Chains A and B, each alone.
Chain A
Amino acid sequence: QQQVKQSPQSLIVQKGGISIINCAYENTAFDYFPWYQQFPGKGPALLIAIRPDVSEKKEGRFTISFNKSAKQFSLHIMDSQPGDSATYFCAALGGSNYKLTFGKGTLLTVNP
């Protein structure tokens, strides 16, 4: 049972463009939604996270949009740069087990 569905699987964007990655969840007990960024050969690292009491959170060029009623959240990368090329994972946590559930990941390539 996949509790967090992530799309697209891969994404190619031109430098300066907007990258958008979407995630949907099923478990209404989820109440913490982080995004992790992973460069080749490295472990994932937290990029940005949101709680459902707000609909949007922005940190620099990275924005999370959250739609509680639709049970969806997305990552927007503005002015995408080649250095943003990485795999991005959405995740969700909540309920009694305190375990992160990850999406399957999106491989982002930003062409120069």
Chain B
Amino acid sequence: NAGVTQTPKFQVLKTGQSMTLQCAQDMNHNSMYWYRQDPGMGLRLIYYSASEGTTDKGEVPNGYNVSRLNKREFSLRLESAAPSQTSVYFCACNRDRGYNEQFFGPGTRLTVL
């Protein structure tokens, strides 16, 4: 079992370009999350999906959109990338939202020039 996989691992964009970060989990978990990690800022929630067919904004949703394609896949889209979106992005999942372990993917390091 791969757990949580993310593609790509690294990406460099120019300001204004768009891209989609992919996340897939084979744990049969209901809830999925997108976080960004910046130095000294910890992990900040961008969007989450409590279950298939639902998505909600987190702490820092501006500039991002998400799609819960099916139970396994949760993608994050940057429509017009900005340098402020340079960050490491982590996808995570857990059995259901709440009091249980979140499992994180290996991350995508994104640089916007």
A residues with CB within 8 A of B? 6, 9, 32, 34, 41-46, 49, 51, 89, 93, 98-100, 102-105
A43 touches B104 (CB 8 A): yes
Among B90, B92, B101, B102, the one with the most A-chain Cβ atoms within 10 Å of its Cβ is: B102
Closest residue of A by beta carbon distance from B91: A43
B97 touches A98 (CB 8 A): yes
B98 touches A98 (CB 8 A): yes
With a cutoff of 8 Å between Cβ atoms, the chain A residues found around residue B48 in the complex are: 99
**With A100-B45, A102-B43, A104-B42 given, can you name 17 additional A-B contacts, CB distance below 8 Å?**
A32-B98, A41-B106, A41-B107, A42-B107, A43-B92, A43-B104, A43-B105, A44-B104, A49-B101, A89-B43, A98-B97, A99-B45, A99-B58, A99-B97, A100-B102, A103-B42, A105-B42
With a cutoff of 8 Å between Cβ atoms, the chain A residues found around residue B53 in the complex are: none
Known: A43-B106, A104-B42, A105-B42. A32 touches B99 (CB 8 A): yes
Pairs across A and B, CB under 8 Å, 12 listed: A32-B99, A41-B107, A43-B90, A43-B92, A43-B106, A89-B43, A93-B99, A98-B50, A99-B45, A102-B43, A103-B42, A104-B40
- Tell which of A6, A43, A99, A105 touches B107, judged by Cβ atoms closer than 8 Å: A43
Tell me if B21 is interfacial: C-beta within 8 Å of chain A. no
B42 touches A46 (CB 8 A): no
The CA-CA distance from A6 to B43 in the complex, in Å, is 13
With a cutoff of 8 Å between Cβ atoms, the chain B residues found around residue A51 in the complex are: 99
Tell me if B41 is interfacial: C-beta within 8 Å of chain A. yes
The CA-CA distance from A87 to B106 in the complex, in Å, is 15
The CA-CA distance from A105 to B42 in the complex, in Å, is 6
What's the minimum C-beta distance from B26 to chain A, rounded to whole angstroms? 15
With a cutoff of 8 Å between Cβ atoms, the chain A residues found around residue B42 in the complex are: 6, 89, 102-105
The CA-CA distance from A34 to B58 in the complex, in Å, is 19
The CA-CA distance from A51 to B100 in the complex, in Å, is 11
Tell me if B4 is interfacial: C-beta within 8 Å of chain A. yes
- Tell which of A6, A46, A103 touches B102, judged by Cβ atoms closer than 8 Å: A46
Closest residue of B by beta carbon distance from A105: B42
With a cutoff of 8 Å between Cβ atoms, the chain B residues found around residue A32 in the complex are: 98-99
